[in-house]
Amino acid sequence: MSDATTRIAVIGSGSWATALAKVLTDNGHSIGWWVRDASIIDSFKRKRHNPRHLTGTRFPIERIEFSTDIDAVVRAADWVLIAVPAAYLESALKGSDPLAWKEKKVISAVKGLLPGSNLLLNDFLLQHAGLPLTDYFALLGPSHAEEVAAEKLSYLTFSGMDTSVAEQIAARFSNDYINTLVNDDILGVQYAAILKNVYALGAGIANGLDYGDNFLSVLIANAADEMAGFLKKLGAYHIVVGEQESEDPVTHRMMPNYAASVYLGDLLVTCYSLHSRNRRLGGLIGKGYSLEAAKAEMNMVAEGLPASNCIHQVNASRVQADMPIAEAVYRICWGQADPGETFKLLEAQLI
């Protein structure tokens, strides 16, 4: 199917979905957009912006077909972009008609595991609708929705088993403020996106406990190493920054090692950026807020919180990697461990 006739749907109306929809409409593409709440759609149509997220971002409404009917939106599309927080994925998708997903290309902008089942979105869609992994693609950073919406130069990574289709998808998003990268490590990049949110929680906790930049740099460097160990046990590859194994046969430039951006870059921006929800939530916890009080103060979803529990369970049952930082975050968030005492113990484990 040619680019000119490919129909794109967006599922979700949070900040990340809104930023990605902006990129697509900026590039001249018409989209179908599933929004759960009809009142949001009404406001969107009248004011030309999302009333709850990235409210300063205006849209060409004539390029958008809104609907609260997820089956209708999915059936009308060839490519379906899903950008719903992992905690709400099952409630959003489980009631959809499995037949509506037949022969669709799904692009996941999800950065978490489904709580309860610890499934990646591709595994859920395989069970729910029989969607094969060959029709599934992941869209990762390093990027924040706020900077994408503000048209600050950002990099998006598109991963899929079929890299030729991944390149077609990437081309739809590429413009003067979005650079795109493509790889085929579909499982590795998804777990990296989950882990970086857990480590950003840890970075926020350290900040809230009043650790300085020196400690934070050691913490994040160790988190990168810890992530690489986990991903290696999963079978991911190209996880070491600085390793280029081949050159492009046409340009003779060294082929990119995507560990530099989709792994390390996304980890760094999520741990350091003031836009990071996970860093902010961790900061509140480090300052002594209870988990419930911190969540109430945030008034938005921080994916690292449920992810820290999911990763603990996945690692304990399947991977069994050495993960002292992720385990420290898990104990603080889910085991009621004291943040100060837990990080004091963690200090001796960092190298």
Strand partners, 247: 254
pLDDT single digits (tens) 196-209: 999 999 999 999 99
Write the CATH number of the domain with boundaries 8-184. 3.40.50.720
Quick check: is 22 catalytic? no
Write the CATH number of the domain with boundaries 188-347. 1.10.1040.10
Asked if the model's pLDDT at residue 65 lies above 80, the reply is yes
Tokens of residue 150, six digits: 């503000």
What percent of the chain is modeled with pLDDT above 90? Answer: 80
pLDDT tier, 286 (very low <50, low <70, confident <90, very high otherwise)? very high
Asked if the model's pLDDT at residue 247 lies above 80, the reply is no
pLDDT tier, 135 (very low <50, low <70, confident <90, very high otherwise)? very high
Strand partners, 154: 178
Tokens of residue 105, six digits: 């290309």
What's residue 1's pLDDT? 41
Query: Residue 216, Cα to own-chain centre: how many angstroms?
Result: 23
Instruction: Give me the mean pLDDT over the 229-258 stretch.
Output: 64
What's residue 313's pLDDT? 97
What's residue 2's pLDDT? 42
DSSP β-ladder status, 105-108 and 136-140: parallel
pLDDT tier, 183 (very low <50, low <70, confident <90, very high otherwise)? confident
Asked if the model's pLDDT at residue 178 lies above 80, the reply is yes
Contact 338, 207 (CB under 8 A): no
Say how many residues make up the chain. Answer: 351
| More confident: 91 or 242 | 91
Query: Max alpha carbon distance in the chain (Å)?
Result: 58
Asked if the model's pLDDT at residue 248 lies above 60, the reply is no
Among candidates 262, 303, 259, which has minimal Cα distance to 282?
A: 303
What's residue 46's pLDDT? 97
Instruction: Give me the mean pLDDT over the 142-171 stretch.
Output: 95
Sheet holding 8-11, edge to edge: 64-67, 31-34, 8-11, 79-82, 105-108, 136-140, 154-160, 178-183
Helix or strand run (H / E) with residue 155: strand 154-160
Asked if the model's pLDDT at residue 226 lies above 90, the reply is yes
What's residue 239's pLDDT? 61
What percent of the chain is modeled with pLDDT above 70? Answer: 92
Contacts of residue 240, defined as CB under 8 A and 6 or more positions apart, other chains included, come to: 228, 257, 259
Q: Mark 237-254 as b/e (b = at least 16 C-beta within 10 Å).
A: ebbeeeeeeeeeeeeeee
pLDDT single digits (tens) 330-348: 999 999 999 999 999 999 9
Q: How far apart are CA 139 and CA 193, in angstroms?
A: 10
Asked if the model's pLDDT at residue 241 lies above 70, the reply is no
| More confident: 155 or 258 | 155
Instruction: Give me the mean pLDDT over the 56-63 stretch.
Output: 96
The one catalytic residue in 22, 196, 232, 295 is 196
pLDDT single digits (tens) 30-51: 999 999 999 999 999 999 999 9
Domain with CATH 1.10.1040.10 in the chain: 188-347
DSSP β-ladder status, 136-140 and 154-160: antiparallel
Domain with CATH 3.40.50.720 in the chain: 8-184
Among the residue ranges 77-86, 93-102, 289-298, the one predicted with the least confidence is 289-298
